[in-house]
A = this chain, B = another copy of it.
Amino acid sequence: MLSKKNDYDSGGEPSRKKIQFADQKQEFNKRPTKIGRRSLSRSISQSSTDSYGSAASYTDSSDDETSPRDKQQKNSKGNGDFCIKNIKQADFGRREIEIAEQEMPALMALRKRAQGEKPLAGAKVVGCTHITAQTAVLMETLSALGAQCRWAACNIYSTQNEVAAALAEGGFSVFAWKGESEDDFWWCIDRCVNLEGWQPNMILDDGGDLTHWIYKKYPNMFKKIKGIVEESVTGVHRLYQLSKAGKLCVPAMNVNDSVTKQKFDNLYCCRESILDGLKRTTDVMFGGKQVVVCGYGEVGKGCCAALKAMGSIVYVTEIDPICALQACMDGFRLVKLNEVIRQVDIVITCTGNKNVVVREFLDRMKNGCIVCNMGHSNTEIDVASLRTPELTWERVRSQVDHVIWPDGKRIVLLAEGRLLNLSCSTVPTFVLSITATTQALALIELYNAPEGRYKQDVYLLPKKMDEYVASLHLPTFDAHLTELSDEQAKYLGLNKNGPFKPNYYR
């Protein structure tokens, strides 16, 4: 649910070229270890998970080492159609879910509004996402709207065991635990899909693995599937590849690129998480620090605004003249990295590009310089180039390495160049709420769409529904929307209920 952050930052649609889905079998076979691949591209870091599910840690440690696959567990109603770490943690997980509910007002409102009509009555949703308290609120909302759900984790590390327990206790068929093996991962997905007498008619995916598995193993299932809702960059691009190749056999909804989600995941969320991530790892004082931010897309804009507000002096690098001009007008010196690399205290990458900070630059940084990445992948900083014999690595805290040059100079490298905000800060529930609400609406839309509205293609959520997601979040801020009068609506040539903006509005 977290990994689609930060795309389109600066390089347009950078990853479209990176992902090959053409020969699916081959790609699947190529994956050497689930862990390796995942931990780079989509994982929610361990520390991050812990911080918003602090309970997890100590209960985990008291658990036995038996694999969940080898345990027989039943919930209090005698139901055993799930596979999780420990059903006894259910109460604990329930509290976490209740706390999350408070910050997810839109889903709660959706439950209320749609309760009467049950727009998902008859829906059989198979899902594969991070299993967290926020996901639980989504699942219980889908259920309240009439859907049946079976669920697996999209990441082998990110499951909050106590939340999984609460879901199982509540009657959901959940197959997930923290620390799955590669084999466990696919086993769990298979258990969601492959059940005597169960034929899913909706897919909710995050990363495309569930979709991939059904394509590979149960292609006939697609005959009854009404649509796919996918929210990660990676998954969305796989779908576009399928579509291009003429192999997409159901409509798919691209949740990742909705306006609301983009603005929240990138601009607004990064504005806060850059500060949080730097503080938690280094306790650095921002005032007076010289910082260079590489890339002035939405993520870069958020980082720059926050640091400027805290009294840092911020330089920006850009390749795109339009973003460059925006940086100028917003009050940032536009430089090339080599012009300032010797003087800056902090280097932040958010370009979506690779090799933005290479060894040559790292060599010229001053002692104590902090280097981190807020961008798409872990390739922006050429961390590999630092793995040479003359440099000493010293792990000084979790997620913080000192890389020491022969002359004693230290570079402070955060999260080994992975996404700082995922590794070292948390994502506010409120941001996740926007994504989850969008997912729920996308499911409703696809499930109820009249024959023919959607073809075998990838769609963006209709503008109007994007606006609806936004409107469901306004009460949180006690915000009061103005309504158009009939006369005004006519004057503007708009429907009083929207959509109000062209699709490309950002």
Contacts and interface: CB of A to CB of B under 8 A. Distances in A.
Given A306-B310, A476-B288, A279 B488 contact: no
Contacts of A352: 492
Given A13-B502, A271-B310, A491-B354, A54 B329 contact: no
Contact of A11 (B18, B396, B479, B492): B492
Given A322-B260, A467-B322, A481-B318, A12 B502 contact: yes
Contact of A334 (B8, B431, B481): B481
A308 interface: yes
Contact of A283 (B8, B334, B429, B501): B429
Interface stretch (A34-42, A246-254, A336-344): A336-344
A152 to B, nearest CB: 26
How many copies of the polypeptide does the oligomer hold? 4
B396 A319 contact: no
A186 interface: no
Contacts of A323: 500-501
A322 B480 contact: no
B474 A10 contact: no
Interface residues on A, range: 35 or more
A491 B18 contact: yes
Interface string A463-506: 00011101101101111111111011011111000111111111
Given A283-B52, A290-B478, A481-B324, A488 B354 contact: yes
A272 B285 contact: yes
B355 A331 contact: no
Interface of A: 8, 10-14, 16-18, 51-52, 54, 95, 99, 102-103, 259-260, 263-264, 268-269, 271-272, 275-276, 279-280, 283-288, 290, 306, 308-313, 317-337, 339, 343, 352-356, 367-368, 396-398, 410, 425-426, 428-431, 466-468, 470-471, 473-474, 476-485, 487-488, 490-494, 498-506
In order of increasing CB-CB distance, the 8 nearest A-B pairs are: A309-B309, A504-B504, A334-B479, A17-B493, A285-B428, A321-B471, A321-B470, A288-B328
